Amino acid sequence: MMVRGIRGAITIEEDKALEVIKATQELLTEIQDKNEFQIEEIASILFTVTADIRSAFPAEAARLKGWARVPLLCFQEIEVPGALLRCIRVLVHVNTHKAQEEINHIYLRGAQQLRQDLLK
């Protein structure tokens, strides 16, 4: 079994705690559904947010989803001029037998523009 990274991102309209939580849960659910893993197979999750998101930690969304025992960590993205605003990014590390090519990276809403090459 290998540890594989699954990338994903989603944007929000406004920096409101409930919107951060709901969007993050939507993203995590889609990542789990498209990659068919169980909670026990998650090694850790790293979240980043753009500097314009300050109302909630995305990790809270994972805990509320029942992923309370998974190691979670949040960071702030570097501020690059012209970068996508109000964006939540995630890197989920899972233990899996899947090959790199079988991993489905998920980009939702405005974040789809980030990695067109990874979208299937």
Examine the residue annotation and report whether 41 is marked as an active-site residue of this protein: no
Choosing from 19, 60, 74, 109, the catalytic residue is 74
Examine the residue annotation and report whether 109 is marked as an active-site residue of this protein: no
Examine the residue annotation and report whether 7 is marked as an active-site residue of this protein: yes
Choosing from 19, 30, 63, 109, the catalytic residue is 63
CA distance 40 to 17: 27
Examine the residue annotation and report whether 107 is marked as an active-site residue of this protein: yes
Examine the residue annotation and report whether 77 is marked as an active-site residue of this protein: yes
DSSP state of 86: S
Choosing from 30, 41, 77, 109, the catalytic residue is 77
Choosing from 4, 86, 87, 107, the catalytic residue is 107
Closest to 26 in 3D by CA, of 12, 37, 40, 6: 12
CA distance 86 to 44: 23
Examine the residue annotation and report whether 102 is marked as an active-site residue of this protein: no
Choosing from 26, 60, 109, 115, the catalytic residue is 115
Examine the residue annotation and report whether 87 is marked as an active-site residue of this protein: no
Any idea which residues carry the catalytic annotation? 7, 63, 74, 77, 89, 107, 115
